[in-house]
Structure formats: structure tokens, C-alpha cells
């Protein structure tokens, strides 16, 4: 998978690139509008992560240009929090998703995965991890081919964990993923996470899955085989 990151803030760009490389993506970085434009014309990417505010132009123009030229790639708009209208406009002109700064890398990963899946719908509707099988379009989960019934939040949480497997996910990042800004970081929301995780674990293990969801001291959780 080839990913183009268009981001002028070097600190953020570095982290994103490093992270995506860890996720086994082929990543290229464009730090301004001109560079990004050239790269889009020359190479083929599966996904582009584009910041709206660039020193020499608008990320929105890049999206418009790519879509006008019929480039088939997933596009995720990164916006400063305030630019709500712009990111909605971004979606209107052909972006697949948006993510507001500051965002967590795990969240970005989940978004990229979702976008890529949606783009190549036919050959990746199923996600299989050992005994766990997830039918993405239908939001169904099977353990050893036996369906387990998860609530919506449990499903979202499982997918988030499994997409970011082998990574430590903080409670904060999980709260943001599940409820966005609306819930705030209250002690409650951490309780909810705990309850959801407990229920999810119970359901998975009852159906014969191994214990993949590990608690990481102080921070949160991690989905891993070890």
C-alpha cells in the first residue's frame, strides 16, 4: 500500500511517516502543495493524507485536482479543529474522510484502514485474524465461524483494537474513537471503556477465542497474540 502524506508541520509529518512505516505502508512525504501536486501526477497512491493548510496552497485544491483527473485513491483530510466547514467541503469535493488535529496515530490508522477497505470493496470485505473473522460491510463477527453478537460500541472497539494490533492504545484515544468529542474525558468515560472491554473479552472468550486483549498498566489496552 502506498500512502502520500501531505503535511508541512515537520514534527507531525515525521511522526505520521514513522508510524505508517511501522504499519508496513510505503510512505512518501510532501511538505508543500507544489511537491504534492507533482507526486500525485507522477505516482500512484492508494491513499493520501492531506492537511488543508499548506504554505503554498490549499489541500482542498489538491483533492479537487486529483478527483478531476480521475485519480482513484482514498483521501483523508486533516484539518485544524476550527475548520469544520472546510472539512465538510472537503468531503463534498471527493475526500473519503476527515480527521481533526490533534489526532492519535491509532485513530489515523483506523481511518486509513476504513478508507482503503471502502475503496477496494470487493476483495477486502472480510478481515481475518486467527480464529476471529469480521465481515466489515455487515458488521458481523465470527469466532471459529460461530457468530457472536456484539453491541455497536463493542464492535467499534474490537475493530479499533484489531486494526491497531500490537500497539498500546491509550484509554483517551479509545474514548475519542468511540465517542468523539461529545463525552469528554471524564472518569465515567474510562469506566465505560472498562465495562465495554470486560464485556467484549467475555463474549470473545465464551466463543472460544484466545485472550488477545491485554491490559497495559496505567495506559490502556493492547490487542496482541503474545
Partner 1 sequence: MKLATKFRRYFLTVTLGVLAIGGISQFVIYRYTMHRTTDDMLMEYKYDIEDYVRKTDRLPTFNAIELEHSYLIAYNNPKRSNMAINHKKFYENDDIRKKLNISNNIYDSLIYSEYELEQVVYRVTNFPIYTTQDGLSMVTLALPTLEQKQLVFAVFFSSLGLFIAFISSMVYGVKALSKMMRPFYQILDKIRKYDIRTNNSHLAIPRSNIDEFDELSHGLSTMLKRMHVDYISLKEFTENTSHELQTPIAAAIMKIEQLQQICADNEQAMHNISSILNSMYRMSRFNKSLMLITRISNNHFYERESINLTYLIDSYIEDHKEMIQIKDIHIIWNSKRDFLVQMHHLLSDFLINNILSNAIKYNKKSGRLILNFYDSYFEISNTYSNKIPDEDLFKRYVRSENKQATGLGLQIVKEICNQNDLESSITITDELFTMKISKEKRNNTTTV
For partner 1, the binding residue among 186, 202, 208, 215 (CB under 8 A) is: 186
Q: Of the candidates 65, 179, 201, 205, which one interacts with partner 1 according to CB under 8 A?
A: 179
Cα 1 to Cα 124: distance, rounded to the nearest angstrom:
13
Among 135, 183, 202, 206, binds partner 1 (CB under 8 A): 183
The residues near 9 (Cβ < 8 Å, ≥ 6 apart) are 51
Helix-, strand-, coil-residue percentages of the chain, each rounded to 5: 45, 25, 30
Q: Which of residues 61-80 bind partner 1 (CB under 8 A)?
A: 80
- Site mask, partner 1, residues 94-133, x = CB under 8 A? -------xxxxxx---------------------------
Q: Which residue has the cell 475526500?
A: 95
**What x/- string results for residues 190 through 219 when contact with partner 1 is judged by CB under 8 A?**
-xx--xx-------------------xxxx
Three-point CA angle 189, 224, 210, nearest 5°: 95
Apex 179 CA angle, 191 and 21, nearest 5: 100
- Residues engaged in binding partner 1 (CB under 8 A): 9, 11-12, 15-16, 18-19, 80-82, 84, 101-106, 151-153, 167-168, 170, 172-173, 176, 179, 181-189, 191-192, 195-196, 216-219, 222
Amino acid at each position: 500500500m502506498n500512502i502520500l502524506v501531505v503535511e508541512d508541520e515537520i514534527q507531525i509529518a515525521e511522526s505520521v511517516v514513522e508510524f505508517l512505516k511501522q504499519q508496513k505502508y510505503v510512505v512518501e512525504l510532501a511538505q508543500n502543495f507544489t511537491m504534492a501536486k507533482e507526486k500525485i501526477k507522477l505516482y500512484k497512491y492508494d491513499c493520501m493524507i492531506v492537511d488543508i493548510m499548506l504554505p503554498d496552497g490549499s489541500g482542498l485544491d489538491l483533492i479537487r485536482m486529483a478527483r478531476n483527473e480521475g485519480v482513484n485513491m482514498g483521501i483523508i483530510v486533516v484539518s485544524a479543529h476550527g475548520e469544520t466547514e472546510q472539512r465538510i467541503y472537503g468531503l463534498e469535493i471527493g475526500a473519503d474522510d476527515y480527521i481533526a488535529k490533534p489526532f492519535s496515530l491509532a485513530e489515523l490508522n483506523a481511518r486509513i484502514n476504513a478508507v482503503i477497505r471502502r475503496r477496494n470493496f470487493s476483495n477486502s470485505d472480510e478481515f481475518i485474524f486467527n480464529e476471529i473473522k469480521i465481515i466489515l460491510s455487515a458488521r458481523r463477527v465470527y469466532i471459529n465461524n460461530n457468530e457472536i453478537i456484539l453491541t455497536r460500541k463493542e464492535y467499534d472497539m474490537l475493530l479499533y483494537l484489531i486494526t491497531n494490533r500490537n500497539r498500546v492504545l491509550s484509554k483517551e484515544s479509545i474514548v475519542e474513537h468511540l465517542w468523539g468529542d461529545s463525552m469528554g474525558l471524564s472518569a465515567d468515560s474510562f469506566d465505560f471503556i472498562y465495562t465495554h472491554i470486560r464485556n467484549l473479552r467475555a463474549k470473545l472468550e465464551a466463543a472460544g477465542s484466545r485472550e488477545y486483549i491485554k491490559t497495559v498498566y496505567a495506559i490502556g489496552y493492547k490487542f496482541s497474540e503474545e
